[in-house]
């Protein structure tokens, strides 16, 4: 009988209180004929595989018989999953040290490890640095903390409402960084470090590298895993600009570690990171200039929305040098100088500091992927098929190390999917039809689904509706006059294809839009649902109404 014919069983067991209990229950079940039993005392269950027709009562009896003088084990509910079968592998299970070896301890790696342990698999994880990866340590958490702090400082300094008098006494950046580090440490412990013991996998500290297609070395240890997941993430990429290696520059990581606000800052790039950090430093008193090669800000965004955002940022004092090609970077006595070409003319921009925000590159150089038979692209990212399997059929990849969209939500979803495909032999594919994106500027920028150009390229007969900020009551109350909400739909079926928004709470609005796009809702659905009044999210309904009427001529909630 092959492994592919076996069935997975989950049995709840009361009375387990420690790792010794796990071993006792696993041994009893193995002696009764259970295959690959994996107990988890903290969750009170054990998973194992059985041959077709096996008597489940035999395994219940084995658990009861495993009692010790100090512990009584009580078998409970049984869940049988005929469709969940272990991946067939050559050789006996004993030849493998673990079912799944995860290289990388970030969002994708942890999502995969949790999924794998819930499937009853043996899991090892290798991490050479700090657990938690980019998001909690150097990305989402510290950057959004910094942005919110800068927003509070801006509100204190500007007091946009008449009749409200306030002022900003000053910025204590070292104190802010201390609070930021404390938050990061707490979340890292709660969301990552404590989960290793809670779910029960082995954590190895060190650098992993392939010795051959089936063997991974971590220091002096040699591991033969049944399957492998690459989840090593990415880091800021440095463009090949003459002089850049010779000048002090900031990245998205080091910019969030500064304990002194620079007087002036040049930012290379005008994407999400550049806009978010640029506005944050601007609001803390830095003179900011953004240089970008493309002639328009956020070119995939509707021009009305992109222009509204740029005008809002410019009103706060941000300078834009779009359509600019950097020729070289030089060190000066006071900081850095960037020499660039714009419209055929040479321009020079000088500042105290330089932030490079021009993309990211995968962390794969220490893995020896070629030895494992894993093909990569020109950046070194492992090539994967639609199931996230690499050119080595035993190895999968997920998260920022791949060419998938670099969002933590995508990384976690990919990690879960890759774990199931690797362990169960499933061939699920990642559905990226409705991936929400958010730029946490003020106002926020959020999108999901197709833009107008993308929908047209897919062959849809496109219809759009646009509700400007002036038509959304919440934006008026917030004194936020930039942007609005755009819906993109199929004129033939009325189905919603995409949403773009620039609004005070566009990041919250886009969650509802993501559900609408993923669930294939129509413009009629959006028009007829009850939208909560005086929210930015109401703009979604107004944009759907705007397809056929002028929403500036509607009463409240009409």
Q: Say what the pTM is.
A: 0.82
Q: HSE, CB side, 13 Å, CA atoms: give it for residue 157.
A: 15
Q: Check whether 89 has a pLDDT greater than 70.
A: no
Q: pLDDT higher for 146 or 89?
A: 146
Mean pLDDT (whole number) for 387-399 = 96
**Domains of the chain, first to last:** 3-85 (3.30.70.100), 100-147+174-235+361-424 (3.50.50.60), 244-357 (3.50.50.60), 437-553 (3.30.390.30)
Q: How many CB atoms lie within 10 A of CB 460?
A: 19
CA 454, chain centre distance (Å):
23
Report yes or no: 398 and 380 within 8 Å, Cβ to Cβ: no
Nearest to 466 by CA among 491, 445, 489, 490: 489
CA gap 276, 305 in Å, rounded: 16
Low-confidence winner among 1-15, 40-54, 190-204 (lowest mean pLDDT)? 1-15
Report yes or no: 403 and 377 within 8 Å, Cβ to Cβ: yes
pLDDT band at 419 (very low <50, low <70, confident <90, very high): very high
Burial tier of 552 (Cβ tally within 10 Å: 0-12, 13-18, 19+): exposed
CA gap 125, 336 in Å, rounded: 42
Residue 87, pLDDT score: 45
pLDDT digits (tens, 9 = 90+) for 20-75: 788 889 889 988 988 888 887 767 888 888 888 888 889 999 999 988 777 789 99
CA gap 238, 13 in Å, rounded: 53
CA gap 499, 486 in Å, rounded: 6
- The percentage of residues in the chain with a pLDDT greater than 70, rounded to a whole number, is 96
CA gap 345, 555 in Å, rounded: 52
Tell the residue number behind the tokens 């890759």, with chain if given.
418
Report yes or no: 191 and 132 within 8 Å, Cβ to Cβ: yes
């Amino acid at each position: 009988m092959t492994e592919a014919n076996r069935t997975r069983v989950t049995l709840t067991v009361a009375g387990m209180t420690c790792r010794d209990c796990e071993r006792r229950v696993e041994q009893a079940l193995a002696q009764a004929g259970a295959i690959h039993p994996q107990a988890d005392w903290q969750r009170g269950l054990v998973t194992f595989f059985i041959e077709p027709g096996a008597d489940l009562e035999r395994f219940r009896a084995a658990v009861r018989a495993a009692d010790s003088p100090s512990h009584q084990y009580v078998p409970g509910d049984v869940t049988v999953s005929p469709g969940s079968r272990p991946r067939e592998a050559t050789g006996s299970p004993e030849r493998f040290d673990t079912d799944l070896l995860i290289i990388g301890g970030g969002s994708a790696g942890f999502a995969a490890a949790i999924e794998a342990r819930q499937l009853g698999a043996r899991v090892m994880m290798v991490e050479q640095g700090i657990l938690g990866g980019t998001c909690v340590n150097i990305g989402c958490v510290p950057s959004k903390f910094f942005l919110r702090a800068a927003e509070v400082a801006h509100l204190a300094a500007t007091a946009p409402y008449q009749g409200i008098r306030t002022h900003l006494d000053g910025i204590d950046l070292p104190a802010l960084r201390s609070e930021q580090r404390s938050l990061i440490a707490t979340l890292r412990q709660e969301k990552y470090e404590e989960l290793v013991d809670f779910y029960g996998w082995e954590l190895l500290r060190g650098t992993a590298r392939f010795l051959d297609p089936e063997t991974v070395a971590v220091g002096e240890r040699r591991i033969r895993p049944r399957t492998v997941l690459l989840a090593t993430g990415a880091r800021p990429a440095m463009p090949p600009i003459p002089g850049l290696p010779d000048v002090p520059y900031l990245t998205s990581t080091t910019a969030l570690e500064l304990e002194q606000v620079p007087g002036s800052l040049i930012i290379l790039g005008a994407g999400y990171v550049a806009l978010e950090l640029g506005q944050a430093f601007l609001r803390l008193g830095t003179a900011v200039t953004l240089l970008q090669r493309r002639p328009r800000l956020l070119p995939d965004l509707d021009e009305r929305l992109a222009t509204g955002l740029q005008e809002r940022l410019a009103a706060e004092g941000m300078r834009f040098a779009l359509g600019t090609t950097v020729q070289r970077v030089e060190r000066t006595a006071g900081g850095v100088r960037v020499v660039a070409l714009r419209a055929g003319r040479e321009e020079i921009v000088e500042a105290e500091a330089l932030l490079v925000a021009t993309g990211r590159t995968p962390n794969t150089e220490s893995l020896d992927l070629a030895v494992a038979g894993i093909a990569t692209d020109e950046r070194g990212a492992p090539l994967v098929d639609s199931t996230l399997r690499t050119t080595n059929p035993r190895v999968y990849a997920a998260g920022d190390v791949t060419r998938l969209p670099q969002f933590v939500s995508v990384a976690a979803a990919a990690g879960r999917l890759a774990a199931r495909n690797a362990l169960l032999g499933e061939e699920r594919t990642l559905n990226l039809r409705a991936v929400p994106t958010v730029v946490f500027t003020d106002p926020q920028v959020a999108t999901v689904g197709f833009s107008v150009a993308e929908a047209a390229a897919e062959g849809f007969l496109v219809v759009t509706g646009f509700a400007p900020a002036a038509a959304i009551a919440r934006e008026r109350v917030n004194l936020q006059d930039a942007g609005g909400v755009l819906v993109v739909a199929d004129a033939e079926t009325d189905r919603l294809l995409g949403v773009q928004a620039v609004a005070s709470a566009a990041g919250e609005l886009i969650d509802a839009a993501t559900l609408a796009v993923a669930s294939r809702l129509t413009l009629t659905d959006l028009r007829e649902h009850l939208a909560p009044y005086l929210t930015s999210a109401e703009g979604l309904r107004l944009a759907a109404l705007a397809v056929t009427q002028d929403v500036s001529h509607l009463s409240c909630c009409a």
